[in-house]
């Protein structure tokens, strides 16, 4: 395969996307949606680097839009897959009777899957060939040395921005910190994949991944609060006299969320 380093990386993302995309319709395949979304996030990393080196020269939003639409809609299903697993965990950890909530989540997934699959049958898939041409031009215009230099700079900038924000604990700021670290980690993933034999990348990647795991669990719990609220609204609407015991579950979620945020912020400030 006679491709430059970045186009080879893009080639593997395209192949993953094309291999896993048919599986997103299979209810039993939990990983297909995840793998498609990861391939899109890795593809976006190339665009972020291009924009960082040559700001404003390419309409990144327009190029990424077809990928982003698929990413967002598949995320609706993925959230519900994760929420059902989290609900099973919370059932074991609390005294809450949450069978009704679990049924609610299953019904939500059926409805969302139907809507997303209907949309997918009508949407146009991304134009990989056009993106491949853009990345080919970008690589030869920039050169390997400058790409490495700017990628390192990008990673450092994202980490420093996250550290500056780590004095705050509100939900919006924690979401932003999570996004910054994800962008840094995906850039590291690309550097490790493309430019081998960089042990310092691997060490930093592992540290960020650990923080990401904490923040990912925190995010899942924040989404759970949103779904519990929807469930409560639904119950009050259709069964106004029925008692629902979601408070033990909410209390557990809030306790764990605070602990996860504290762990994350502590580890962020240890990054160099």
The pLDDT-based confidence of 195 (bands split at 50, 70, 90) is: confident
Which of 3.65.10.10, 3.20.20.140, 1.40.20.10, 3.90.180.10 is the CATH number of 5-268? 1.40.20.10
Mean pLDDT, rounded, for 2-31: 90
Supply the Cα-derived Rg of the chain in whole angstroms. Answer: 21
Q: What is the pLDDT of residue 29?
A: 80
Q: What is the pLDDT of residue 238?
A: 66
In percent, the amount of the chain with pLDDT more than 90 equals: 78
Q: What is the pLDDT of residue 241?
A: 65
Q: What is the pLDDT of residue 194?
A: 87
pLDDT tens digits, 40-63:
999 999 999 999 999 999 899 999
Domain ranges of the chain: 5-268
pLDDT tens digits, 123-145:
888 999 999 999 999 999 999 99
The torsion of the CA quartet 47, 223, 100, 114, rounded to 10 degrees, works out to: -20
Q: What is the pLDDT of residue 12?
A: 96
Mean pLDDT score of the chain: 92
Q: Is 242's pLDDT higher than 80?
A: no
Q: What is the pLDDT of residue 166?
A: 94
Helical segments of the chain, H only: 5-20, 30-53, 60-93, 99-122, 128-142, 144-165, 171-194, 199-238, 247-268
The pLDDT-based confidence of 89 (bands split at 50, 70, 90) is: very high
């Amino acid at each position: 395969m006679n491709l430059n380093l970045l186009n080879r990386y893009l080639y593997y993302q395209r192949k993953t996307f094309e291999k896993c995309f048919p599986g997103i319709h299979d209810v039993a395949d939990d990983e297909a949606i995840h793998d498609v979304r990861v391939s899109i996030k890795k593809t976006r990393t190339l665009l972020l680097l291009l924009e960082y080196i040559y700001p404003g020269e390419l309409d990144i939003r327009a190029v990424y839009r077809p990928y982003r639409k698929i990413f967002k809609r598949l995320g609706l299903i993925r959230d519900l897959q994760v929420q059902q697993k989290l609900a099973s965990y919370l059932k074991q950890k609390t005294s809450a009777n949450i069978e009704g909530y679990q049924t609610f989540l299953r019904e939500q997934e059926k409805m969302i899957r139907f809507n997303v699959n209907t949309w997918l049958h009508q949407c146009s898939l991304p134009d990989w060939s056009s993106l491949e041409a853009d990345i080919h031009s970008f690589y030869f215009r920039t050169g390997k040395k400058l790409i490495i230099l700017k990628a390192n700079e990008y990673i450092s900038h994202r980490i420093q921005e996250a550290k500056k924000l780590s004095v705050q604990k509100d939900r919006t700021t924690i979401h932003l910190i999570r996004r910054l670290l994800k962008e840094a980690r995906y850039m590291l993933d690309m550097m490790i994949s493309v430019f081998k034999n960089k042990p310092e990348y691997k060490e930093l990647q592992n540290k960020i991944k650990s923080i990401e795991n904490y923040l990912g669990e925190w995010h899942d719990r924040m989404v759970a609060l949103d779904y519990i609220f929807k469930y409560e609204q639904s119950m009050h609407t259709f069964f106004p006299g029925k008692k629902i015991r979601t408070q033990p579950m909410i209390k557990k979620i809030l306790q764990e969320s605070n602990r996860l945020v504290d762990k994350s912020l502590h580890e962020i400030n240890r990054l160099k």
